[in-house]
């Protein structure tokens, strides 16, 4: 496989789904941080959200693992598919 082989490749529905979930998790964390910041202020919001941040970070890491597995599996069969 070469870089040229990847030029016309599109995201598969599964990969799009995983990336969409990743973005939603990021948005949810930002919403929670904004709410905490309104209640506790900038400095304390980080402390209050540490466990929540870690949970979201773990969830995002797991989603990216699934996305990577999906992409890797599709790359092996790129000759038969045009999506990763």
pLDDT digits (tens, 9 = 90+) for 19-46: 999 999 999 999 999 999 999 998 899 8
pLDDT of 1 higher than 70 = no
Q: Kindly state whether residue 67 falls inside one of the protein's structural domains.
A: yes
User: How large is the average pLDDT for residues 60-82?
Assistant: 84
Inform me whether the pLDDT recorded for 54 exceeds 90. Answer: yes
The reported pLDDT for the residue numbered 73 is: 85
Closest CA to 22 of 72, 76, 65, 70: 65
Does any domain span residue 35?
Answer: yes
Kindly state whether residue 55 falls inside one of the protein's structural domains: yes
Domain enclosing residue 45, as ranges: 9-76
Q: Establish if 21 belongs to a structural domain.
A: yes
**For residue 80, what pLDDT band results from cuts at 50, 70 and 90?**
low
- Give domain status of residue 49, yes or no: yes
> Per residue in 3-41, is it b (16+ CB within 10 Å) or e — as a string?
eeeeeeeebbebbeebeebbeebeeebeebbeebbeeee
Please list the residues that pair with 73 across neighbouring strands: none
Q: Does residue 2 belong to any structural domain of this protein?
A: no
Is residue 36 situated within a structural domain? yes
Domain count of the chain?
1
């Amino acid at each position: 496989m070469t870089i040229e082989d990847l030029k016309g490749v599109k995201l598969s529905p599964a990969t799009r789904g995983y990336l969409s979930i990743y973005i939603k998790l990021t948005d949810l964390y930002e919403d929670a941080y904004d709410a905490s910041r309104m209640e506790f202020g900038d400095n304390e919001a980080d402390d209050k959200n540490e466990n929540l941040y870690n949970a979201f970070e773990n969830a995002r890491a797991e989603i990216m693992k699934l996305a990577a597995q999906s992409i890797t599996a599709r790359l092996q069969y790129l000759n038969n598919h045009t999506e990763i």
